[in-house]
Every structure is written in structure tokens, then in C-alpha cells.
Structure 1
Amino acid sequence: MSRTDRQLVPPEELHAAELAFLAAHDGGPRPPGWLLTPQAVVTFVLGSGGERLTGPKGGKAAQGMVIGQKFVGDRALVERCVVTLAGERGLLLVGEPGTAKSMLSELLAAAVCGTSALTVQGTAGTTEDQLKYGWNYALLLAKGPNREALVPSPVLTAMTEGRVARVEEITRCLPEVQDALVSLLSERRVAVPELAGTEDAQLHAAPGFTLIATANLRDKGVSEMSSALKRRFNFETVGPIGSLEEEVALVRSQSSAAVERAGAPYSVDDAVLEALVTAFRDLRLGRSTEGWEVERPSTVLSTAEAVSVATSLGVAAAYLPQSGDLLARLPGQLLGAVRKDDPADADRLLGYWDGPVRRRAEQGAATWRTLWDQRGDLEGSR
């Protein structure tokens, strides 16, 4: 299947040219099994800041390339993540939902080992087999226990090939399943009792193997990690984007790409995007940019959620242009995002309209005046 036949393309394919360039550009020392140097991994994730990087004359990197920014966040955070992986220690990315933990883990895996696909999605139904191995029962019955009949998990494949494994939403796995990772991360091997007496009874980790897990702070109590497992990870917290301008730029980039995948041109203007992101940030923080108090809704108003709302506005503009101004649609879209977890959040959103939205409108801001005029529609749709 070609890239054009897929909705989403993994980063190792989408950014293959950048990865190849960085491998040639930076000829410095690499940890065992790494495709790039640690510094090149940081550059791949955060971009070159608009600078055109060049390599030695006559080499593949001689013509130069500007590396685009893929993750908006603190450089020190990314550098700590890279150092953790270079030390072959487990990395656990924690944070509120929608803070791009999974995106960061994908980018790191793609840059370190060339694939982000060795992934286990944690759920209440995840089994120990999905973290270690299972069996091809047809071969097992035909030939008995042997390496050919063993079906490795993505984690075991990463171990034996010296790559990066990823476990998404690790706290959604049951504790006994999580604990399967304890010996794996400490002893760096998996015992296969069924193959006792053969050289495959112990499968060892190749140099370069490590594991990145993610966990949402809101889901912390689903299946609390044991102390033994926590000690096998370095914890890094991925927070919301600090800058309004950077968050608007990210929402614009991500939503425009999504609308284009839907086969439509993108026509959401900057005034709408800035109002959307400002409202999300005010409600997320419990305080407006002017310092006015705002009652926070119980739901998490993440950047990812803002991208979804901007995408909906973009699709509406393309396919339903007769149904009104995009700014007039924004209150209804915000209401849909806010009241997912608690119906009372609709009243909190209305309180935001009666507070910062009204005050900005009274100060003469045209965008917020238009939004204030939609208050009746917002109240009627609760």
C-alpha cells in the first residue's frame, strides 16, 4: 500500500529523507544499535530551527536540509528522554491526555531504530503473551515446541533485534501483566520454559534494546504500577504547550493536514484558530490570559482536542459552506468538546462566556464580540 492510500503514515516513512540526511550529516559516535547520534535524534524531533544543515563535501548531506519541527515542547525534556534511551533504561512518558506523549514516543523510536511499529496497546484485555510470546498452535502440534512455532510479541522482537519497543497506556494493563515487564527490563532476557534444554530456552536482549511506555495522569488509578516496575523506568512528564503562538501554529498544522486528508482545502483563518486555542487554554488553566478567574471543566481540554475542533471547522467550511460563519460555529464545537465527561461542564462553559468572553467583547475585540453574540445559541443547546 502506498503512502497516498493510508490516512496516517508512520514517522519513519513520512520523514525518511530527514532520517537519511541526519544519518549522513552527523558522523559522531552512536550508542549500540542506534541509527542516529543522540544529538541528531534531538534535532529530528525538535527541528533545526530553520537552519539549513550541511555535511561534508562530496557526501550525501553536502547539499543540506532544513529539519522541520515535529514536537512542540521543552528541549531539556527531549534531551533527557534521549539520554535515558542511550543508557538502555526504560522511559515512561506521563501527562494529561492529548499532550503528544504517543507522538513523542513514535518520533524517538523512529529516530533511534528506524521503526515505531513495535508497539503494544495497553488495555484491560492485554495479556502477558502480548508482552512476551505466544505460539503458532498448528506448528506446535505438528512439530512440538520449537523456535519456529514461537510467535514473538513486539516487545520480544525489539529485544532480540536491539530496537525500541513501545507500550501505550501501560496503566490500563492489569498489574499481573505489567509485572511481566519487571524481569524483562532488569534481566534483559525472556525465559521460554517450553524450550528447556535448547539454546532458545533463554532469549536475550541485543544491544540497543529499550522500551518507551506512556501513561495518562487521569488514568493513574486504573492499574497502579508496582514499585518494582516503577524503578525500571525514568519518568518524564509531558505538559501542555507553554506558548499561545506555538499552540496555534501546531493546531493549524495538524488540522490543515487532517482536512487535506479529507480531500478538502483548508480555510480556517487565524482569528478563528486563535480564539479556539485561547478558549482552550483559559479553560484548561482556570485563568484567562488577562488573569481573570475561570471555572475549569472536569474534562481535559488538550491540544489534541483543539486540533479535532479545528478539523471539524475546516471540514464544515469545505463541505457545508452555506451553513454559516465558522466563528459562529465555534461555541457549539466547544460545547461538544467540554461536556463529554460531566453535563455540569456545559454550565462552566456558559460561565466562561459570561466572564472572559463578555469582558473581551465589551473591550471592543471584534472576534469576541461575535462569539458573545452566540451566547443564546450556546445556552439553548445545553
Structure 2
Amino acid sequence: MSANLASTPSRTAAPHPGESAAALRPHAEDAFAGELAALAAQDDRPRPARWKLSPWAVATYLLGGTLPDGTVISPKYVGPRRIVEVAVTTLATDRALLLLGVPGTAKTWVSEHLAAAVSGDSTLLVQGTAGTPEEAIRYGWNYARLLAHGPSRDALVPSPVMRAMAEGRTARVEELTRIPADVQDTLITILSEKTLPVPELGEEVQAVRGFNLIATANDRDRGVNDLSSALRRRFNTVVLPLPESAEAEVDIVTRRVEQIGRSLDLPAAPDGKTEIRRVVTVFRELRDGLTGDGRTKVKSPSGTLSTAEAISVVTGGLALAAHFGDGVLRPADVAAGILGAVVRDPAADRVVWQEYLETVVREREGWTDFYRACREVSA
């Protein structure tokens, strides 16, 4: 016997009087609703059951392009096309998708946009932590109803995964390797048998066509809660690499900063590209342990210095320039953010940063203002 879950309540709370209804960070399906609608209108290719778009259109949504009617689809992911194609194709099969990579390689971002394009709903999410309980993946109970009336359908609280199974949608599990191993393994039956038993009711929830699951995991978390071989076999693993070139990373940071800046009503920085390029250069050189020209080896700090952190540094600098400057992004606006990203270990990382400033930044032509700003905040 299979359980039929109740319809999902609205996820958007009503604003207080006088407040704007605009979300600070809209879900992907809301922020890019126009692009998704334009793709759906012109998408005449076969669609898997309950998919909002065909696999080709999902890939176009992530990678960007121009539709026959002239509609421009902005790229959500800048990287190898084949990676996106493999990820999308995996979701059209009976295998779940595991996005693996170092911090800041857009795993969560890609996961959200895949779910939005496939199911039109990116909110069926389980956030993995060391304290994630089994109920977050399977189901829980409304204990007031459970104590009053015993186990019943009304007392059952479905997890996002259970809801995705019943509705034929895409569920997401973030930071899978942060979840305790015994909780991780509750996914084995779900992914292999496509069913979730509810023994308290003598029922089960069977996944309907369209259901699949996207998980993300961090390369740096190896050894924390490694996936069992049984669970790993249920996933097709796609590794998201760091941007191949400085130009690609500058492009990613610029696009995301513009999007975030618009959502925060920050003015566009007319000369921001220069400082973005400098931030990206510093992060890449410290991350790689080598200057861009390949001539000088440098020590790497303990932090990841990811693209996501570069986006955060530039966004913070843009806010400083807007509220406490003349609106032009300058070295002084990003210097403190760079220091905070690089120096995670006050003892070891500060030495690495000071050495990099003096041996690389100080000698670089055209970087005198950047060197002075970084020296001032590092003193």
C-alpha cells in the first residue's frame, strides 16, 4: 500500500505591513522565471516524465545561449559543457547525481539550478550537517498528534526526499559527507528500490516517475563521513573543477557580483573589473603556489581561496564603495576582505600573506595602490 502525501503548503510567508514582498535571495525558479518560461515555450524536444524542460533545454539554461526568438539565456555555470551534459543526462536515468569538488566550485549553485530547470522547484532540500537526523531524509512525526491519536497519516511529517518521491520531483542533499554514516545509508533503499517504507503505518511511499536526487560533497571532507561503497554505487559522480583560466574566473566573479549587487540595490562599479582581476589573481596565485607567469613559487595559506570567496570579497568591497566611498571600486575597498579570506590561521597564514605582499605584489608593475592598501590593513 502506498501513501498519498498531502499537497505542499505555500513556501512564501506574507510580508509584514509596510515590508516589500521581494525576497533577499529568490529561489532560482523565481529569479530566472522569465528565462525558464522562454525555454519552455520554444522547447520542442522530448521531455522525461514530469520534467519542465527537455535535457537539451536544461543544459542551455545552465550554460546560456540565445534562443531562436532572440531571448538571451544567461549562463549559470561557466565550465566544460560536457560536465553539464553528463549531469543532466544522469538525472534522466535511474541513478542519482553526486556533485563533487573543492569548496567554491559552484556545487550548490549547479544543484539548485538543475532542480529548478528539471522540476520547477529547488526547495526540496536537506542540508547536511553533523547533526542531521534520519528523520530529515525519511520522515518525522507531529508528536502532539502522535500522542493524541497514535501513528496516522495526519501525524506523519514528510521529509523533502519523501515529498520529491511522491510528487516526481528532484530532491537535493547538500554536504552529504557531513551527514553521519548511519543516516547517509537511509538513502540506499530510496535510491535502489525507489521506495520508502513507513512500518508504523504498514505502508510505503513509492517514487513516481520524475523523481531523482542530487547530492553535493566537498573534496576537503574526505575522511569525515566517507560514503559507504553501497551508497556510492547508487550515484553517478560528476567532479566540478576550479575555473581553468584566470579569464574564466574573472568572468564568473563579475557575473555573480553583478547579480548580487542588483539584489542588494548596490550601484554598478564602473571600473570594478580592475579590482576583480586583482582579487582573482591573488587568490589563484596563493591557491596554486605559483605566480601567473610561472616564475615565482609562493607559499599557500590554509584557506581554500575559492571563487565563491572571491565573489564575497568583491561584493563586500562594492558595498564599501557604495556606502562609504564614491561608488568606484578601489583597492582599499577589497583589501580587508582579501586579508580576512587569506589569513585564517593568524600565526601561519599571516607570514604567508606578508611574504606574498613583499615578494610579489610590491614588485608588480601597476599594483602600487593595491600594495599600499593591503599593507595598511595588514599592519
Query: TM above 0.5, one fold?
Result: yes
Higher helix content, 1 or 2 = 1
Is structure 2 residue 287 aligned with structure 1 residue 284? yes
Equivalent residue for 1:26?
Answer: 43
Equivalent residue for 2:104?
Answer: 98
Cα distance in 1, alignment partners of residues 327 and 92 from structure 2:
53
Give the residue type in structure 2 aligned to 1:249. D
Q: Shift of the alpha carbon at 1:254?
A: 2.0
Distance 1:350 1:323, change over 3 A: farther
Question: Pairwise mapping of residues 85-234 of structure 1 onto structure 2 (< 5 A)?
Answer: 85-196=91-202, 201-234=203-236
Cα distance in 2, alignment partners of residues 284 and 138 from structure 1:
52
Native 8 Å contact 2:137 2:186 kept in 1: yes
SS in 1 for 2:216: strand
SS in 2 for 1:182: helix
Q: Shift of the alpha carbon at 1:195?
A: 1.0
Native 8 Å contact 2:137 2:162 kept in 1: yes
Native 8 Å contact 2:250 2:280 kept in 1: yes
Is structure 2 residue 310 aligned with structure 1 residue 306? yes
1:252 corresponds to which of 227, 251, 254: 254
Cα distance in 2, alignment partners of residues 173 and 139 from structure 1:
29
Give the residue type in structure 2 aligned to 1:369. T
Q: Shift of the alpha carbon at 1:124?
A: 1.2
Question: Deviations for 1:123-142, whole angstroms, at most 9, x for unmatched residues?
Answer: 11111111011112233334
Native 8 Å contact 2:256 2:311 kept in 1: yes
Native 8 Å contact 1:133 1:156 kept in 2: yes
Cα distance in 1, alignment partners of residues 88 and 329 from structure 2:
45
Cα distance in 2, alignment partners of residues 279 and 265 from structure 1:
25
Q: Shift of the alpha carbon at 1:145?
A: 2.2
Equivalent residue for 1:57?
Answer: none
Native 8 Å contact 1:43 1:67 kept in 2: yes
Is structure 2 residue 85 aligned with structure 1 residue 79? yes
SS in 2 for 1:294: coil
Cα distance in 2, alignment partners of residues 71 and 375 from structure 1:
31
Equivalent residue for 2:339?
Answer: 335
Cα distance in 2, alignment partners of residues 184 and 208 from structure 1:
14
2:56 corresponds to which of 26, 31, 39: 39
Native 8 Å contact 1:164 1:208 kept in 2: yes
Is structure 2 residue 32 aligned with structure 1 residue 65? no
1:15 corresponds to which of 20, 32, 37: 32
Native 8 Å contact 1:101 1:214 kept in 2: yes
Cα distance in 2, alignment partners of residues 108 and 135 from structure 1:
30
Q: Shift of the alpha carbon at 1:329?
A: 4.3
Distance 1:20 1:328, change over 3 A: closer
Native 8 Å contact 1:298 1:342 kept in 2: no
Native 8 Å contact 1:95 1:217 kept in 2: yes
SS in 2 for 1:176: helix
Cα distance in 2, alignment partners of residues 106 and 324 from structure 1:
32
Cα distance in 1, alignment partners of residues 193 and 127 from structure 2:
23
Question: Deviations for 1:287-326, whole angstroms, at most 9, x for unmatched residues?
Answer: 1210021211121001110011101111111111289982
Question: Deviations for 1:131-160, whole angstroms, at most 9, x for unmatched residues?
Answer: 011112233334432222211100000011
Native 8 Å contact 1:350 1:378 kept in 2: no
2:274 corresponds to which of 271, 280, 291: 271
Q: Which region of structure 1 is more displaced relative to structure 2, 283-292 or 264-273?
A: 264-273
Cα distance in 2, alignment partners of residues 23 and 47 from structure 1:
14
Give the residue type in structure 2 aligned to 1:246. A
Native 8 Å contact 2:45 2:54 kept in 1: yes
Cα distance in 1, alignment partners of residues 309 and 88 from structure 2:
27
SS in 2 for 1:5: coil
Query: Which TM-score applies when normalising by structure 2?
Result: 0.89
Question: Deviations for 1:42-97, whole angstroms, at most 9, x for unmatched residues?
Answer: 0000011xx3x13xxxxxxxx44111111111111000101111112111111111
Equivalent residue for 2:239?
Answer: 237
Structure 2: where are the runs of 5+ without partners? Answer: 1-13
RMSD: 2.1
Native 8 Å contact 1:128 1:180 kept in 2: yes
Q: Shift of the alpha carbon at 1:346?
A: 1.5
Give the residue type in structure 2 aligned to 1:164. T
Equivalent residue for 2:357?
Answer: 353
Q: Which region of structure 1 is more displaced relative to structure 2, 63-72 or 153-162?
A: 63-72
Cα distance in 1, alignment partners of residues 41 and 63 from structure 2:
18
Equivalent residue for 2:10?
Answer: none
Give the residue type in structure 2 aligned to 1:93. L
Query: Which TM-score applies when normalising by structure 1?
Result: 0.89
Native 8 Å contact 1:120 1:131 kept in 2: yes
Distance 1:276 1:159, change over 3 A: same
Q: Shift of the alpha carbon at 1:227?
A: 1.0
Cα distance in 2, alignment partners of residues 343 and 110 from structure 1:
43
Give the residue type in structure 1 aligned to 2:368. R
Q: Which region of structure 1 is more displaced relative to structure 2, 205-214 or 19-28?
A: 19-28
Query: Percent of counterpart pairs with the same letter?
Result: 46
Question: How many corresponding residue pairs?
Answer: 360
Cα distance in 1, alignment partners of residues 63 and 327 from structure 2:
39
Cα distance in 1, alignment partners of residues 60 and 29 from structure 2:
15
